[in-house]
Structure formats: C-alpha cells, structure tokens
Amino acid sequence: MINNQSSRKSSAKSNSPVSKTGQGNTLQKRLIKKPLEDLFKGREKVLQAARLCFAKQGFAGTAIKDIQLASGFSRGNLYHHFKTKEEIIQIIITQNLGLFCNRIDSIVLNVSENNLSFKEFVQHLSGFAEEITKGPGNGMAFHIWSLSMVDPEIRQLTKIYFERIRTALEQKIISLQKCGKIPKDKNSQNLSVALFGIVIPGFTLQSVFMDEKKISSNVYADCLSTLFHDLS
C-alpha cells in the first residue's frame, strides 16, 4: 500500500510542468524569494502576451506554448503564474469586461455632469466602441462573444458585466426622461437594451466587416440621429 502511494506521488511529480523543465524546487525557491512587485509584473507580462496571441489567433487557436514564447518566460516560470490556458482566458475576460464597465460609468458621469444631449451620449458610446475595435486588443470582443456561446461559465460572466453596462445606460435614459429629452411613457429597460445592441456591438460589427464602407463613431452617431429623431 505504501509503495503504491509512493508510486502515485512520484508519477504526479514527474507530470508537473515545473518538474519537466528540470528546474524543480530550485525554481520555486527562487520565485518565492522574489518581491511581490516583480511577481505581479511577471504575471502581467504573461497576460499581455496572451492578449496579443488571443487577438491574433483566437482562444482555440492559441496554445500555452504560444503564450510562453510570446512572454519570453520558461515553461516553469509561466506555470508558476498560471496553471492552464483556461485560467488565463477567464482572467483576461474579467479584466476586459471590468474595464468596459468602468469606461461606460465614466461616460455616463461625463454626460450627466456636462448636461450633454442624447446624441452626444451616443457619440461618446460609439467612440468607446471605436477604441475597442482599433485598440491593441482589437478583435478580442468577438473572441469573447464567440466563446460565450459555447462555454456556460464564460457566458454567465459576460452576462453579469453586460447587465452592469445596460443598467448604467438605463440610468442615463431615466435621467433624460425626467428632463423631458426622452418621452416618459417609453420603457426605459427596453430602450437601454436597444441602445446597448445598436451602439456597441452595432458599431463594432460595421467597423470590422464593412471594409472601405465603414464609418467613424461621429458619423455613426449622426446616422442614428437621422434615422431615429428621438436621438436629437
């Protein structure tokens, strides 16, 4: 019995990514001695490398080896920070959606403090969507949406953050109803769902797939204003 347990422990150790690098306890001791700031920087370096890989190759097309090479870390160092590719994906999605929500909150606050029109509100939202599309992680939104269709955990996580964004939009719509800029008899929840769908995914889709016909965030907001007079 004791021999079987020892055999299992030995097998588990030999299957460890750190053990396979040949660094073993030496690497672990060296990493433990590192200042927390250095460990945090290393973790962020891995995440940044993963973002670039995912944006270019998608989640499914990226192997943990790709992330290792892009980060410049040894396999043992990489596995010290993250055990699986799925762990990296979930952290990046959480960070991205959290930043999106914070940015929407900031836009809503700016529009309220400066008493901007609903059309200007849409311009700011479209501008944010433009940043998402053209930024360093361009395409990440599509990878997240795609993964959400097949992964229940990612779908639930995405829904939580999207609901936070929709709620922020609804609060602004309600404030515009109170000051008479939007009819008070309109359902604020329905309006917020429509606004979310039209502005953020809508702008992003046309920006990526319309090629030479794609339009800027300001032109997009002007077009919506022309199509829907309530935006004026």
Domain end, chosen from 31, 66, 81, is at: 81
Overall pTM > 0.85: no
Angle value at C-alpha 158, between 135 and 228, nearest 5 degrees: 70
CA distance 179 to 115: 10
Residue 152's pLDDT is what? 92
Residue 137's pLDDT is what? 58
Count how many domains the chain has.
Answer: 2
* Type of residue numbered 210: M
Domain holding 64, by residue range, is: 21-81
CATH number at residue 201: 1.10.357.10
CA distance 170 to 12: 52
Residue 187's pLDDT is what? 96
- Taking only the tens place, the pLDDT of each residue in 16-36 is 444 444 444 544 544 455 566
Residue with tokens 């995914």: 201
CA distance 204 to 179: 30
DSSP 34: S
Residue 231's pLDDT is what? 47
Domain end, chosen from 81, 97, 132, is at: 81
CA distance 212 to 139: 18
The alpha helices in 179-214, defined as continuous H runs, are: 188-209
Residue 111's pLDDT is what? 85
Residue with tokens 């490398």: 49
Residue 33's pLDDT is what? 52
pLDDT < 50: residue spans in the chain: 2, 5-24, 26-27, 29-31, 231-232
